[in-house]
Amino acid sequence: MSRTAATRLPEMMSANRADLDALLDRTVLGHFAFTGEDGRPVSLPSVIARWGDQILTHGSTGSRWLRRIAAGVPVAVSVATVDGVVVARSAYASSLLYASAVLFGAFTPLAGEDKLAALDVLTDRLLPGRTAEVRRPTAKELAATTMLAMPIGEWSVRLSDGWPEDPEPDVAGPAWAGLIRFGVPPATLAGAPDLRPGIPVAPSAGQVRGIR
Amino acid sequence: MSRTAATRLPEMMSANRADLDALLDRTVLGHFAFTGEDGRPVSLPSVIARWGDQILTHGSTGSRWLRRIAAGVPVAVSVATVDGVVVARSAYASSLLYASAVLFGAFTPLAGEDKLAALDVLTDRLLPGRTAEVRRPTAKELAATTMLAMPIGEWSVRLSDGWPEDPEPDVAGPAWAGLIRFGVPPATLAGAPDLRPGIPVAPSAGQVRGIR
């Protein structure tokens, strides 16, 4: 059986690539699972960004885990957001409102123009338009950074939604039921202590909304 | 070298158990990494709750991945929150404000009174006080649920904090720098369509604040 086939609750599975992209474009953390050099599983969170049909991640060339996945070992990346709570009339029927995805594959290092372009994608993913506000990366910075890409190939998405579904005896009982939905977190800005006077807030930072 | 020893940015590592607990107590999702039956890594998000010195997770007895980790295979669980963005004067020096942890170990199924108590911990973790508002689990529901616990033993925590640190030439330049901090997301409630008239909003649901 394929790893992306649902064994249960198949109605929550989506085969719609647009659902995957929507989730990837509203989350910034992926959790990277791979097998360590000692054969045991490792899981690490790191920033991801979708670049067309690829997932990007990056970090220091000194990072041990990044070196491991840069070598092309099999990787699973999971992403998830908690969007609320489905409050049923029993603990059993209650659940989270969430969206989640798992992507399987392997990463390859990017170099040259691809690496530069991917860095811009990651920067603008966190702060839209930021690359136009700051200087270009230096050769030293580029040399200190590993940029990796994984094709979006084998994946699955799971979306929970809808109202609680209680059996009739519970509906007739005294317990409340409903949905709690979480909104977008507020974002507050503070200038750095060493910010020189007269420098206005960056438009990129001013428009950031909280990441849930 | 131990898997929980930092190879870089060791100043971001915390050996303080209180930091781990604080993170676990404000996140509800863990990302579970383990090796699948085909030898390839798997990563899956699921609800977690800390119960003293253990991490709990649960799900359907029909869940393939839960059966896998219930068998005691080595597992790594990562948790993370994105709390803001450190906006430096270069893309290179910018980063996320985050807290993350990875726990290593293996899960064991709980049964009997331990299982019942753990279910209450998980329910009250999502909706504080909810177990006092709803009926007790039925024997059928208990039989359909797998409850797993992993001791908090081998773990690492990484906390980012503080202002951007730009080199002097960048500080003297035109770019803005600062911190964006995300607040707690707003939570909105809606009663279920089949809610009987006259049932007030559950106090547990009314007090839930958004999970970041």
Chain A to chain B, count of Cβ pairs less than 8 Å apart? Answer: 292
Q: Which pLDDT value is given to residue A209?
A: 79
Residue A26 DSSP symbol: T
Q: In the CATH hierarchy, which top-level class contains the domain A10-83+97-165?
A: mainly beta
Q: What are phi and psi of B68, to 5 degrees?
A: -60, -50
Comparing CA positions, the residue from B49, B104, B44 lying closest to residue B73 is B104
Residue B3: pLDDT above 60? no
| B118–chain A Cβ distance below 8 A for any pair | no
- Per-residue burial over B63-100, b = 16 or more CB atoms within 10 Å of its CB, e = otherwise: bbbbebbbeeebbbbbbbbbbbbbbbbbbbbbebbbbb
**A6 vs B: CB within 8 A:** no
Q: Quote the tokens at residue B29.
A: 């999702």
Residue of A48, A56, A176 best to disrupt the B interface, most CBs of B under 10 A: A176
For residue A162, what pLDDT is reported?
86
For chain A, what are the domain ranges? 10-83+97-165
- Give the torsion through C-alpha atoms of A192, B20, B50, B39, to 10 deg: 100
- For chain A, list residues with pLDDT below 50: 1-2
A139: Cβ contacts below 8 Å, ≥ 6 apart: none
pLDDT at B194 over 60: yes
| pLDDT recorded at residue A5 | 54
Strands (E), chain A: 13-14, 29-35, 41-47, 49-51, 54-60, 75-87, 95-105, 108-109, 145-151, 154-159, 178-182, 187-191
Q: In this complex, is the C-beta atom of B132 within 8 Å of any C-beta atom belonging to chain A?
A: no
Amino acid symbol at B45: P
Architecture of the domain spanning B10-82+98-162 = Roll (2.30)
**Which residues of chain B are within 8 Å of residue A68 when distances are taken between CB atoms?**
none
- B127 at A interface, C-beta within 8 A: yes
Grouping H, G, I as helix, E, B as strand and the rest as coil, residue A87 is strand
Q: What is the pLDDT of residue B161?
A: 76
pTM of the predicted model as reported, rounded to 2 decimal places = 0.93
Nearest CB to B41 within list A34, A127, A173: A34
CB contact under 8 A, B141 and A190: no
Residues of chain A in contact with residue B133, where contact means CB-CB under 8 angstroms, are: 175-176
pLDDT in tens, B131-142: 999 999 999 999
What pLDDT was estimated at residue A52? 97
Chain B touched by A90 (CB under 8 Å) = yes
Averaged pLDDT for residues B29-46: 96
**Considering CB atoms only, which of A75, A90, A131 is closest to B134?**
A90
- What are the pLDDT digits (tens) for B135-186? 999 999 999 999 999 999 999 999 997 899 999 999 999 999 999 999 999 9
Strands A145-151 and A49-51: unpaired
Amino acid B1: pLDDT: 35
Residue that has been written with the tokens 């109202």 in this structure: A163
pLDDT of res. B211: 73
Six-digit token string for A180: 């709690």
User: In this predicted model, what pLDDT tens digit does every residue of B74-127 receive, in sequence order?
Assistant: 999 999 999 999 999 999 999 999 999 999 999 999 999 999 999 999 999 999
Tell me, yes or no, if A157 comes closer than 8 A to chain B by beta carbon.
no
